[in-house]
Structure 1
Amino acid sequence: MESQNPATRVVGSTGGGATPGSAYASLETLLTEVTDGVLLVTFNRPDVRNAINRQVQHDLRTVLDQARGDDDVHSVVLTGAGEKAFIAGADISQVAGYTKATALDSDLQRLFDLVEDFPKPTIAAVNGYALGGGCEVAMACDIRIASQTARFGLPETALSVLPGAGGTQRLARLVGTGRAIELILTGRMVDADEALRIGLVTQVAPGEQLLDAARAVAATIAARGPLATRLAKLVIRAGMDADQRTGQVVERLAQAVLYESDDKREGTDAFLSKRPAAFHGR
């Protein structure tokens, strides 16, 4: 159904159908809403602190696949329902039945790779506990903004397993090897202020302002050249898996594409003409 705000489109909810004509399917565990180009995805299992189970994985994959080609969406914000948790980890009742085949298949790792590789900016608005898989999906996002009550941790070693959805790799890249080893081996949680200090998040906001802060960052990005922001993200990500010289070659190739783009011509002309740019992503 259409909301009273013409810039808002509700596209899915627990137990509800999709908007007529919307590209989005009915989602069992996620709430989804598009406002001013921002797709807000809310993990909606507050009774279990939004724990990740197979249905959550299926629903998140579905919404990402559909948002990829949705021209009404220029960025994605992930958050959790309720005030206690962003995502408090995996559903332990399912983890208890996991085997070596589950680990080798690593569906959750592949899903979080999709989040990391998503072509549009992704922002985690962390509104409470982000533990285990919750911390891992937040780290897969491009930007992390925390509420003052947010808590981050990878406690898997207490179950004699390790963070297996990219956590060992992404945490080390974000906060450094030594600190990542300490946090993973001890399972220690960090609060929002420490997360900001060590580089795990880029901003801390009061809880009631968290989504506004995420939307403000998304709006700032949306005002810039979409082709440039997409390629910049791709180059940064690719460079993390290569030596610096190789990364700089990728950077030059991306810049060559941008120098020949309509958006670059529009951007420079708008700047010289002292008018707002009208980018079209090509």
Structure 2
Amino acid sequence: MFENFQAMTVTETGDRLLVELTRPEVRNAIDDQMVEELHAVCAYLEREPKILIVTGCQINGKGIFVSGADISQLRERRREDALRGINNTIFHRISQLPSPVIAAVDGYALGGGLELALAADFRIATPGAKFGQPEANLGIIAAAGGLWRLKALVGEAIAKEILLAGRVLDGNQAHDVHLVTELASPGELLDTAHALADRIAALDPLAVRISKQVMAMPAAAHPAVDNIAQAILFESDAKFDRMQAFLDRKKK
């Protein structure tokens, strides 16, 4: 179903989907076509939950994640477009996917690129990655999640440096402030992302899915929602099988 995509290539294996963004001529700028194709990926993963890895491509031997929104399209958007939340909607949808999402970042992750990475559950980056939100320089705000997801991850002080003063973090700095989960060299970036996906896949998929959903709920929902979620898992076959396997291993 992904054969006719123009802005990305999609590779599916048993427990995961790898999405490689492929608009090198514009440094993977997010346009309407890319948004449409990301929605198609989300629709599939909502029906068939799998781990999602999102990464960029190589341009003249250098990595690029997403340089931002396509300014030629963004320049023409008006009030009604903003109220539709074109990028906001797709990033929120990605963040709400049933299974975990991993962003593997090399090169620029600016503007919408950083907001796409922020929508993931995990961010793996190279030391040479560049993270920033330059929207204020263009007369707009980081309205697709950057204003609040960034603050939640790195704290208000660092978020203000990025959002209000144009600071750009490299991979090492992003790792220091917990924006990035793990660092990897460019040649090992995808292997590191797949290794993380392997660790996730080794767990019970239903327990992972429910944990992700419950974590996203407001504080007022706890602890009642935790009890309800646990009640569901206490009746699952995987719970009995995995616990019995654990007990059997202890006997050896």
For normalisation by structure 2, the TM-score amounts to 0.94
- 8 Å CA contact 2:45–2:97 kept in 1: the answer is no
1:117 to 78, 83, 96: 96
2:5 to 16, 21, 27: 27
Q: Percent identity?
A: 40
Partners of 2:213 and 2:2 lie apart in 1 by: 26
The equivalent residue for 2:235 is: 260
Between 1 and 2, higher relative CO (CA 8 Å, sep ≥ 6) is seen in 2
Please list the CA deviations of residues 21-52 of structure 1 after superposition, one character each: whole Å capped at 9, or x if unmatched.
xx435211111112453211011001111000
Kindly indicate whether residue 82 of structure 2 is the aligned counterpart of residue 106 of structure 1.
no
The equivalent residue for 1:68 is: 46
Residue identity matched to 2:53 = V
The equivalent residue for 1:11 is: none
Q: CA RMSD in A?
A: 1.5
Please list the CA deviations of residues 56-103 of structure 1 after superposition, one character each: whole Å capped at 9, or x if unmatched.
000111122123333xx6311000011331000000001111111111
Give how far 1:253 is off: 1.7
The equivalent residue for 2:141 is: 162
The equivalent residue for 2:57 is: 81
Please list the CA deviations of residues 138-157 of structure 1 after superposition, one character each: whole Å capped at 9, or x if unmatched.
00001100012111000100
1:195-274 paired onto structure 2 within 5 Å: 195-238=174-217, 242-243=218-219, 246-274=221-249
Partners of 2:46 and 2:103 lie apart in 1 by: 17
Partners of 2:133 and 2:223 lie apart in 1 by: 33
Partners of 1:161 and 1:255 lie apart in 2 by: 43
Give how far 1:158 is off: 0.3
The equivalent residue for 1:49 is: 27
Partners of 2:72 and 2:113 lie apart in 1 by: 16
- 8 Å CA contact 1:74–1:222 kept in 2: the answer is no
- 8 Å CA contact 2:45–2:98 kept in 1: the answer is no
For residue 223 of structure 2, give the secondary structure of its aligned residue in structure 1.
Answer: helix
Structure 1 stretches lacking a partner, 5+ long: 1-22, 276-282
The equivalent residue for 1:148 is: 127
Residue identity matched to 1:230 = R
Partners of 1:115 and 1:264 lie apart in 2 by: 28
Partners of 2:185 and 2:118 lie apart in 1 by: 20
Partners of 1:211 and 1:35 lie apart in 2 by: 15
Residue identity matched to 1:269 = Q
Partners of 1:33 and 1:77 lie apart in 2 by: 10
| Equivalent residue pairs, number | 247
The equivalent residue for 1:173 is: 152
Structure 2 stretches lacking a partner, 5+ long: none
- 8 Å CA contact 2:53–2:101 kept in 1: the answer is yes
Give how far 1:190 is off: 0.2
Give how far 1:171 is off: 0.4
For normalisation by structure 1, the TM-score amounts to 0.84
For residue 101 of structure 1, give the secondary structure of its aligned residue in structure 2.
Answer: helix
